[in-house]
């Protein structure tokens, strides 16, 4: 097929040899199957139009590193340059997340290169060697549902241990590869420790998995892995080998408000006394 304009640049740079066919097109990007020497890979061509709401962008990009203060100001003002900078940062976030997660052993497509708004990465294939199907296109047995659900929870845990929350995980961005589920589509991935929305997004990701797999294995609907995982993470106890129970009991102990206020008053009194001593010394 005739190469799209954005992919022609990669051909000229020698990164790909030819474009075989279009794989899919979504609101964020169009994905093509390309040939690189003897290898068949995947090229994700990001669309330039900004189709996400500003609120969504703020939630996902909170605490992300930005190259310079000019970009920060422009992104805040939503100028044309700012929108381009924000779009570029959005694309780069997926590349960075894929590299970090692949290094951490998470089941994601291996990224090879990122050039001119095109991400060149591994093409995920199924057991038959064809392009892997999305999870939402597959009918599962109860045993398969339990097995895949457990495998994906382990991937979510491994991602969190690497400091990343997917932020939009569902059956629509999981592929069934030859050796199990593969997580894709990570431009909205967030910093687990630095984003105030990380907990909410983690709980939503885990809930999406529960609701999908619960269609095939209803007992999964009674689990509460999300709260359990986040609690272990907050307490510094989460590891890729953590054994999960799917149960979580929230702390319902009443807050000792009087005691808290007393501690605040004591701290203020100590600070006032310290300042008074300093004034006396001076």
Tally the C-alpha atoms within 13 A of residue 242's C-alpha that lie toward its C-beta. Answer: 25
Cα 42 to Cα 29: distance, rounded to the nearest angstrom: 12
Lookup result for tokens 């894929």: 98
- For residue 252, the model assigns a pLDDT of 57
- For residue 114, the model assigns a pLDDT of 93
- For residue 223, the model assigns a pLDDT of 96
Binning the chain into helix, strand and coil, the percentages to the nearest 5 are 45, 20, 35
Q: Write down the catalytic residue from 185, 205, 251, 265.
A: 185
Tokens standing for 65?
A: 């590193």
- For residue 273, the model assigns a pLDDT of 74
CATH class of 5-234: mainly alpha
Cα 44 to Cα 87: distance, rounded to the nearest angstrom: 15
- For residue 90, the model assigns a pLDDT of 62
Q: Please list the ranges in the chain whose pLDDT falls under 50.
A: 51-55, 66, 71-72, 74-75, 82
DSSP conformational letter for 107: -
Q: Is 251 assigned a catalytic role?
A: no
Q: Write down the catalytic residue from 17, 128, 130, 168.
A: 168
Q: Is 224 assigned a catalytic role?
A: no
- For residue 91, the model assigns a pLDDT of 67
Phi-psi region of 14 (alpha: psi -120 to 50; beta: other; left: phi over 0): left
């Amino acid at each position: 097929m005739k190469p799209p304009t954005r992919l022609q640049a990669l051909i000229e740079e020698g990164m790909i040899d030819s474009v075989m066919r279009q794989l899919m097109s979504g609101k964020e990007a169009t994905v093509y199957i390309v040939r690189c020497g003897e290898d068949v890979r995947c090229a994700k061509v990001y669309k330039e139009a900004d189709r996400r709401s500003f609120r969504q962008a703020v939630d996902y990009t909170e605490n992300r590193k930005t190259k310079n203060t000019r970009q920060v100001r422009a992104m805040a003002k939503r100028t044309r340059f700012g929108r381009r900078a924000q779009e570029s940062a959005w694309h780069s976030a997926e590349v960075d997340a894929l590299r970090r997660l692949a290094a951490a052993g998470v089941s994601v497509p291996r990224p090879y290169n990122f050039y001119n708004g095109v991400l060149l990465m591994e093409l995920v294939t199924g057991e038959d060697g064809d392009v892997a199907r999305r999870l939402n296109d597959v009918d599962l047995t109860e045993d398969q549902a339990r097995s895949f659900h457990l495998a994906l929870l382990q991937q979510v845990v491994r991602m969190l241990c690497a400091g990343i929350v997917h932020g939009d995980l569902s059956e629509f961005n999981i592929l069934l590869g030859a050796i199990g589920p593969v997580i894709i589509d990570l431009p909205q991935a967030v910093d687990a420790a630095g984003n105030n929305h990380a907990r909410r997004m983690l709980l939503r990701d885990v809930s999406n998995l529960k609701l999908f797999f619960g269609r095939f294995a209803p007992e999964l609907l009674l689990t509460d892995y999300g709260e359990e995982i986040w609690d272990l993470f907050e307490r510094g106890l989460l590891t890729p080998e953590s054994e999960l129970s799917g149960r979580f009991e929230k702390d319902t102990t009443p807050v000792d408000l009087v005691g808290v206020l007393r501690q605040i008053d004591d701290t203020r009194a100590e600070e006032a006394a310290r300042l008074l001593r300093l004034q006396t010394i001076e």
